[in-house]
Structure formats: structure tokens, C-alpha cells
Structure 1
Amino acid sequence: MTSVRPDPRQAAPAPSPKPEWWRGAVIYQVYPRSFADTNGDGVGDLPGVTARLDHIASLGVDGIWLSPFFKSPMRDFGYDISDYRAVDPIFGTLDDFDRLLARAHALGLKVIIDQVYSHTSDQHAWFQDSRSGRNSDKADWYVWADAKPDGSPPSNWQSVFGGPSWTWDARRGQYYLHNFLPSQPDLNLHNAEVQAEVLATARFWLDRGVDGFRLDAINFSMHNPALIDNPPVTEPGKRTRPFDFQQHIHNQSQPGITDFIERVRLVTDQYGAFTVAEVGGEHAEREMRLFTEGERRLNSAYGFDFLYADQLTPDVVRQAFETWPEAEGVGWPSWAFSNHDAPRAVSRWAAPEHRDAAVRQGLLLLMALRGNVFLYQGEELGLPQAEVPFDRLRDPEAIVNWPQTLGRDGARTPMPWSASAPHAGFSDAEPWLPVDPRHLALAVDAQEADAKSALALTRRLIALRKASPALRLGSFVLVAAPEPILAFERASDGQALICVFNLSPNRQTWTSFAGGRVLAQVGETDPASGQLGPYAGLILEQQA
């Protein structure tokens, strides 16, 4: 028998391309104001984030998303930017940011930051120049329009935060557009000079070493220059703001946004940076697909499918995934159950007596979904929505729309680090928002030594997701099941999983289990008998 030795000059087969770091990643959202305060002013800061990065790294996440820390008068807590390239003194300095970035990278964490291209603060130098006169250097960097003959605003467009989205400016003798607060004038992103300047800002941060951007409210970044009135909403539904009474087809979601997005992608691709869009509104599903379509647009997008859902049902999951079919040219989704703009999921989806079970199920479900995972600070602790009395509210939307059952401030209260330290170890001073007493028992130090805690479960589930090709990158197929049972299959590289959840506080039976090895379970589950306890869930690896 003759053996044949391989010719060393012959090239070996090319290895399969390694998936991008962000595909299937778990990214931890840090809201700096509420994470950790190091200078005793009651507001979290960048050195506080740096000091607590070890906690984040211990979860096993791939990176962090850092909410705005830029210079701002803080009318909307950082989303009203007065200087895109400066750190607000309340958070620290550029040197503090560089130290945070270096420490995160040393721990193996990627760093994603916000870019807000739809609007600035009215204190931004660009707006100060623009409002100074119709012949100023930046006269058309913002959206200005004359009054109607009767003096009323140029269109009927309504602001997200209440009232008309037009404010009169006596210096120019015109109205300016603001889709949010009057102190957040909209940039005119139709202007090529404005586009060039915001892209230069992106390069400024990429040159410093950031690994990606979350594009805030990107579907608000362009308007219809004809200033046509929005039509009314005719379908029945809950309406709590004037904004809710209109179909927003002229003040947002314009065709030119995709061309701009492609310019953003050309820049970020030069650095290998990740891009994810935040997309809300009645056309979110269509726009998320549009903004991530093909190879020239954004890497990913997320909407408010889960963030604004009052109940978690199989139908909510089904509708969310119908937006992201596994087809050629369709982008990659991202998912969040909670963030700084939405009440915490456990308080929306479960009664207080079922909170612990619902927390565990929520963590398991989030880690089982196809796409990227955004885990909001405190979610790993199972924090419920904090109760903030009216006289301590800081969120302008919550104040304007009070009384709401759940506002944004309740998701922004200080991170509880210590059950016994003053102000939960967040600060030596009275925090900008109060610590909810219920959060003390859920503090990091109270859970560290408990192998059965939500914190310990989070670490185990993230490790499982990273080790499982099916969970991180696999296909997603819903399995027929009677409500309130949610079932779906994940599969990749020869691994096949069945994921089953009882999305209710009542015991359920599902007799379609095909057997297999239990990879993870929460609550009372018995695959042999098909029993699923309240808010129970499990992942089974199917037999080959």
C-alpha cells in the first residue's frame, strides 16, 4: 500500500471566515449618570464606570454601550448635545474617557457610544450661529421655516415630548423644528455640510479607539422639506400625547436617510466598527429592515418590540421575528427588554409576587433569541422599576405626561452596589434620583455570594450562549404551541435546541417535548410529563 505525503507547497484550504465580533454578542448598557459616582456630587461619572468595569467583565459580556456623556446642558440628560467632541464636566474629561476605553479593552470589552445626528442642544455653537440671522454661516444647518400667514407654525407636526414641534425664534423671525424638546433643535441633515461635519465627529471618536456606534433616533434625522401636514391616526388605540394622534410620515422616516446611512457605513467600515440603529414609531419594522439591508447599510437595528410591550406573549415574539426573516439581504437584529427609555421589563410583564420567576425567565429568553443582546444595567440583578415620587422626577417626558404608571426615571435610578452602604454604594452624596429601598436586597454584594441569585444566573446563561453555536449564531424557527407557551428551535453547526417558555403565572402542560439534554432551565419544569410551572423555561439539546 502506497502512502501519499501532502505537498508542503500546496496551499491549505482557506479557513472559514470568522464571524464578526458583534454578531450574536451580548452588550451591556451603561447609563453613566446612574452607574457609579466617584466625586461625591450625586451623579455618576466616567471614572465610576472605569472603577466598575470588572463587574461588567465578570458577566462574560462582549462589550458595553455607553449612553451619552458629551457636553450638554442636560435638559434631556445628555441627548441634547452642545459639543459632540467634548465630555461634559459632570462626567469627567476626555482623558477620563481614554482611561475608560483603555481599561475596557484590557478586559476584552468592546466600547460602543451614542451618536445623535437628528438634533443638538440649542446651546450648541452651530445653533447659536444659525439663529443669529438668515445670512449666517450656518443659516441652513437647522430646519427653519416662515410662519403661515396667520402666524401659526409651518405645519401641524407634534413633538414627542408634547406640544407643537415648532418654536418661534424672534432673532430670525422664523420657526425652528424640534421633534423632541424645544431646547433640542433638529439638524438639517439634508445639508451636505452638516452630513460632512457629523461624519467628521464619528471619525474623531473612532480615531480614539471606540468600537462602534448606536445611532439614536436615526429615523428622525430627516424631514419632508415641503412641510406637509401629517394626517391623523384613524385607528382606535391608546393616546396619551398629541404626538400619538398623527401618522408621522412627513416629520421623520424620509427616503434620504438611507443614503446618509450608507455614508456612515463607509466611514465605520474603515475602522471595522459596529453600527446599530435605534428605530421607533409606527413604521419601525419596515425601517429597521431598510436601514440594515444589504452590505452597505448598518450592521444591526433594534426597535421597541419588547421595550414598550405591556405584556410578553408568544404573539409579541412572533411579530418581532417576522421583521427579521433569515433571507438574503436582510440585516441582523438586536434585542433589548429594558433600557434607559423604557420601564424595566419585569415590572411590565409580571405582578410583584411573581417577580423572581419572571426575572429568571426573562434572562433565559433574552439569551436564547437570535440576534444581539443588549442587557441594561441592573437587569442582571433583577431590579424592578423603581418608585420615584413626583417631587423627585427629573425626566421631562414623565413630568409633562404625569401621572403615568411607569416613567423613564424609574429605570434610571442608581445602580445598587452595596446593601449596607449609604445610597447603595452608588455615591457618598444624595443621588440625583433616589435609591428604591427594594433594590438594596438585590445589590451586587448581596448577590455575589449566592449561587442561586439572578447575578449568578446571568453569568451562567451568558457563558452558555457564548459556548453554543446555535444560541449565538443559529437559525430561529417558531414551533406551534398553545398560548401562553412560547416554543422555538435554534440550530447551527450540528447543534439543535428546543427552547420552551411558559409566559404566564399559571402552571401549563406541553406534551410535545421530544427529549434531549437540559442545557438550562428556570422555574419548575418536567419535560417527561410536559409540566411547566409559572414563568418557567428550559433549553433542551436535541439528540442527534
Structure 2
Amino acid sequence: MVLVACGTRPQQPAAHPDWSYNSVVYEMNVRQYTPEGTLAEAARHLPRLQEMGVDVVWLMPVYPIGVKERKGTLGSYYAISDYEAVNPEFGTLEDFDRFVADAHRLGLRVILDWVANHTSPDARWIEERPADWYVRDSLGNTIVQYDWTDIAKLDYGNADMRAAMAAAMRFWLNRGIDGFRCDMACEVPIDFWQQTLPALRKEYPGIYLLAEGEAPALHDGAFDASYAWELHHLLNDIAQGRKSAADLRAYVARDSAAMPREAFRLMFTSNHDENSWAGTEFERMGDAARVMALLTFTLPNGQPLVYTGQEMGFDHRFEFFEKDPVPAWEHNGFTDFYTALIRLRHENPALAAGERGGQAAYPLGERTPDGLMLFSRTAGGNEVTVAANLSAEEVAFDLPFEGSRREFFTGKEYTGGTRTVLPAWQWLVFAQDRR
């Protein structure tokens, strides 16, 4: 078994697709998306996502799920038995192809969840390939990690297995997908990603690659984006009164120093893990849920993620191993809120991820009141100023600009230098274009 740390400093960040800098990613949980739980029915919602402004649809794993050691009735999406097939629960390969074609007609990109660390313990590879494709104990048994008793860990010391993994990725790229979200990317040796992903980029120009992990080395010629896990947990802590706006400013400085300037950082208030195991954003963040979502769309280096149901404020923990669908999709205030957030990001180059976006400046400096996260980002003559009250008390401050500006969400005009009071967990956003 080969282990290569994910912790070294990157030297050659990957070149990003031009379309990705101001993009918004939407995670689709196909099983729970509709009562039918199929790709065909989920595809009916693509026009709605396009109308919201979503750019990228990330499909959670669509592959067949193992039966041996299966958890629950339907099993974990991440216990894959065949890398080159579609789970019959979701439909057929033809249904998948139609989903991708429908998305592309609407201008949406599709990325697939890719689970390279492990398979199910009864996967096709275990039955058909040599035993040394898997990590085994002294008795010859495959091994599990954490409490994942429904998986078998692959051995990246085997060159043939590596080649087969890359070939399986090509199988889906040949069907027209636009990239991958790679599950548990740091559990896979970094040299596999650094060898495989640049080769795939040459064969399939413009693909987008997202790593579940936040080691800087993931950006060393490999991934476009990595998870901002530390930020996510910090936002939870701020909402629960354990951390403050000052801690967020410190995080922004620390993360910007640790990561290459080109790195995209996936920012979120929910995803499939957090929703099912830690609770909805409303359970974890309460009244702060909206302002925290705003930050994921506006903080430096960020690429925002919206998870299934967030766009209608669906306050429900999805079952992970059972059928538990969204009861009904309805347009409401949360839909308008997320649509506005996406428009804010699309319209303002300062909010781009990576090297094209602006870094954070703090106009009030040491005069910034406790509880207030006030920052500006500037790029190409475009400036966005965000004032977010990250506390349960109102906060007063002077608007840090000259002249008058319209607040993005309300359209109300504000005069610079005016004393302003923000209620608990509320915000103001000003976008100024001087181009």
C-alpha cells in the first residue's frame, strides 16, 4: 500500500475552465429528489435550476450499490459495486445520457461524484480482479475505514488498479460529463491525482475537478477546488455563539496564506454529510442560516454550494440509507434569496473564485465593531462591500464609502458615512461597478 501525504505546499496549480470562476454548484441527491427517485424524474427539475442561475449540477453517486454488508434497505451511495454502470434504482445508462444532454441544452454542466478510495465488499473488481487490487490484513481480508463496514479499501500500490480507475473515469467523460467531485480525495495518494487528472485535462479540455479535502497539495496540478471544511465548522460555531467575526477574519487571512492564490474553496452551509449526520442548517445555525449562506457566496476564494432542498428552506434531515424524498417543490422566499445570491455572484467579477476574484479588505480596520464582518472585494473596477452582523445583538457602524449606493437585496439607497444599525444576523451588500 502506498501512502503519500496531502500536506505539502503546492507549486503548479491547475488551470481552471473559464466558465468556472463565477459559477455556483448544486448538489443533487437523486434518491430523495422526487418520489420516484430516478434520473428521468430529476431531469424534469433542470429548467427550474437553470432559472435560478445554477451553473453546475453535482450528481451524488449514481452507480450500483453493493449488497454485502449493506447499510439499511437501499445502502450507501458510496459503497459502489460497479464503476461503469447506473444503479437500477435510478434508471439506466440511457436515462443518464438523457439527463446530461438535457442539462447541456440548458447550459448546465454536470459533474459526477467519484469514489476512488474504496468499493463495496462485493464489487465487480473484487470478484474479477487480482486480490492485490485491495488493501488486506494479515489474514487476507479486505479492510474497512472508520465505521464504513460496507466498503473495501483499494490499494494504490497496484499499477493495474490505478490504470483501471483512470479508465473508469474516462468511461463517464466519454459520455459527456464535465468533471468530477472526488470523494475523500486525501485518502487517495496525491500522486495518483497528480498523474491522472492532468492527463484527463489534456484529453478532455475544460473539465472541472472538485476534491473533498482541503490540503493545499490537492491544488498542485490536480484539482480546481477543495472543501472549505474549517470555514464550515467556524460558521456553525459563530451561529452558536462560540466564535466571532474576529475569528472569521483570522480564518480568511490564514486560509489565503495557506492556499495558492488560484485555489477555489468550496463553501457551504449544508451538504449530504452535514444534512444527514449533523443536522440541517436551521438546526445548526438557527436565525443565522441566511447570513451564513450569504458569506459562502461572498468570502474570498469561495465557490458556493447549494444542497438539495436548501433553495426552498427544506428543514429536514434526509435519511441516508432509505427512501426519504422531498415531499413537494415549491417556490418561496428561500428560492428568491438563493436566486438573488446567484445573481450577485454572476454579476460581480470581484466575487470570482481563485486569482480573478478580489481579496478581502477591511475598510473600518480596528474601528470595526465586535460582531460585524465588514469587508470589500475589488477586481477589474468592480467592488462589492458586505456588512454582516454575526451576532445575536444589533450593531451600529458608519458606512465606509463616499457618495450614495444602492443595497443589492432591497434596492434602498444609502449615503456613505451614515450611522447605520444592523439587527441581529442581518446584512447589507453594496455592489459598485466603476468599469
Please indicate the TM-score interval, normalised by the length of the shorter structure: 0.7 to 0.9
Counterpart secondary structure, 2:125: helix
Q: Which moved more, 1:206-215 or 1:56-65?
A: 56-65
Within 2, Cα distance between the matches of 1:105 and 1:266?
24
Post-superposition offset of 1:189: 1.4
Does residue 341 of structure 1 match 2:273?
yes
Cα 1:197/1:213, change in 2 over 3 Å: same
CA distance in 2, matches of 1:523, 1:176: 60
Q: Is the 8 A contact 2:193 2:222 kept in 1?
A: no
Contact 1:360–1:522 (8 Å) recurs in 2: no
Structure 2 CA distance for aligned equivalents of residues 361 and 461 of structure 1: 11
Report the 3-state secondary structure (helix = DSSP H, G, I; strand = E; otherwise coil) of the residue aligned with 1:334.
strand
Q: Distance in 2 between matches of 1:58 and 1:23?
A: 19
Name 2:136's counterpart in structure 1. 144
* Equivalences for residues 516-527 of structure 1 within 5 A: 516-521=404-409
Q: Does 1:176 align with 2:142?
A: yes
Does the CA-based 8 Å contact 1:258-1:297 persist in structure 2?
no
Say if 1:30 and 1:66, in contact at 8 Å, map to a contact too. Answer: yes
* Distance (whole Å) between structure 1 residues aligned to residue 154 and residue 16 of structure 2: 39
**How do 1:41-56 and structure 2 match up within 5 A?**
44-56=37-49
* Match status 1:490 vs 2:377: yes
TM-score normalised by L of structure 1: 0.66
Q: Deviations over 1:331-378 (max 9, x none)?
A: 22221221000032232122xxx3xxx343233322223332111121
The answer on 1:414 being equivalent to 2:325 is: yes
**Distance in 1 of aligned mates of 2:185 and 2:340:** 34
Q: Distance in 2 between matches of 1:304 and 1:210?
A: 26
Q: Partners in 1 of 2:325 and 2:371 — Cα distance?
A: 34
What is the aligned partner in structure 2 of residue 444 from structure 1? 330
Q: Matches of residues 28-39 of structure 1 in structure 2 within 5 Å? A: 28-38=26-36
Task: Answer whether contact 1:475 1:492 (CA < 8 A) is retained.
Answer: yes
Residues 406 and 413, structure 2, Cα contact 8 Å, conserved in 1:
no
1:72 and 2:65 matched: yes
Q: How does 1:76-475 map to 2 (within 5 A)?
A: 76-129=75-128, 138-146=130-138, 173-180=139-146, 181-221=148-188, 256-272=189-205, 273-279=207-213, 284=214, 287=215, 289-293=216-220, 296-309=221-234, 310-312=236-238, 313-314=244-245, 315-316=247-248, 318-319=250-251, 322-325=254-257, 330-342=262-274, 343-350=279-286, 354=287, 358-370=288-300, 371-386=302-317, 413-415=324-326, 424-425=327-328, 443-445=329-331, 447=332, 453-472=333-352, 473-475=356-358
* Count of residue pairs the alignment pairs up: 390
Structure 2 counterpart of 1:229: none
| Alpha-carbon contact 1:63-1:111 (below 8 Å) kept | yes
How far residue 542 of structure 1 moved from its aligned partner, in angstroms, is: 5.3
Q: Is the 8 A contact 1:87 1:93 kept in 2?
A: yes
Unmatched runs of 5 consecutive residues or more in structure 1: 1-16, 39-43, 130-136, 147-172, 222-255, 396-408, 416-423, 426-442, 448-452
Unaligned runs of 5+ in 2: 1-14, 239-243
Task: Report the residue type matching 2:167 in the other structure.
Answer: A
**Conserved? CA contact 2:406–2:414, under 8 Å:** no
CA contact (8 A) 2:291 2:425 kept: yes
Aligned residue for 1:70, secondary structure, equals coil
Q: Is the 8 A contact 1:505 1:535 kept in 2?
A: yes
What amino acid is aligned across from residue 37 of structure 1 in structure 2?
A: P
Q: What secondary structure is seen at the aligned counterpart in 2 of 1:29? A: strand
Which residue identity is paired with 2:230?
D
How far did residue 414 of structure 1 move? 2.8
Cα distance, 1:519–1:268 mapped onto 2, change above 3 Å: farther
User: Are 2:400 and 1:513 equivalent residues in the alignment?
Assistant: yes
CA contact (8 A) 1:522 1:537 kept: no
Return the letter of the residue paired with 1:347: E
Q: Is the alpha carbon distance of 1:23 and 1:190 closer, same or farther for their aligned partners in structure 2, counting shifts above 3 Å?
A: farther
Compute the displacement of 1:478 (Å).
4.5
State whether residues 382 and 433 of structure 2, in contact with CA within 8 Å, keep that contact through their aligned partners in structure 1: no
1:174 corresponds to which letter in structure 2? G
Alignment of 1:13-24 (within 5 A): 20-24=18-22
CA distance in 2, matches of 1:305, 1:197: 33
Which of 24, 27, 30 in structure 1 is aligned with 2:25?
A: 27
Q: Does the 8 A contact of 2:405 with 2:413 survive in 1?
A: no
More helix by share: 2
2:360 partner SS: strand
- Given that 1:518 and 1:538 are in contact with CA atoms closer than 8 Å, whether structure 2 keeps it comes out as no
Distance in 1 between residues matched to 2:314 and 2:162, nearest whole Å: 40
Shift of 1:214: 0.4
Contact persistence 2:282–2:289 (CA under 8 A): yes
Q: Which digits, 9 at most, give the CA deviation of each residue in 1:501-522, with x for residues without a partner?
A: 0012221112352244134247
Larger radius of gyration: 1
Give the 3-state SS of the residue equivalent to 1:64 in structure 2.
strand
Distance 2:419 2:324 in 1: 43
Mapped partners of 1:525, 1:494: distance in 2: 21
RMSD: 2.8
Contact persistence 2:79–2:150 (CA under 8 A): yes
**Equivalent residues of 1:307, 1:345 under 8 A apart:** no
CA deviations over 1:155-187 (Å, ceiling 9, x no partner): xxxxxxxxxxxxxxxxxx334321142220100
* Residue identity matched to 2:149: P
Indicate if the aligned counterparts of 1:502 and 1:508 stay in contact, CA closer than 8 A.
yes
TM-score by length of 2: 0.82
Q: Is the 8 A contact 1:361 1:536 kept in 2?
A: yes
Q: Does the CA contact (< 8 Å) of 2:383 and 2:431 recur in 1?
A: yes
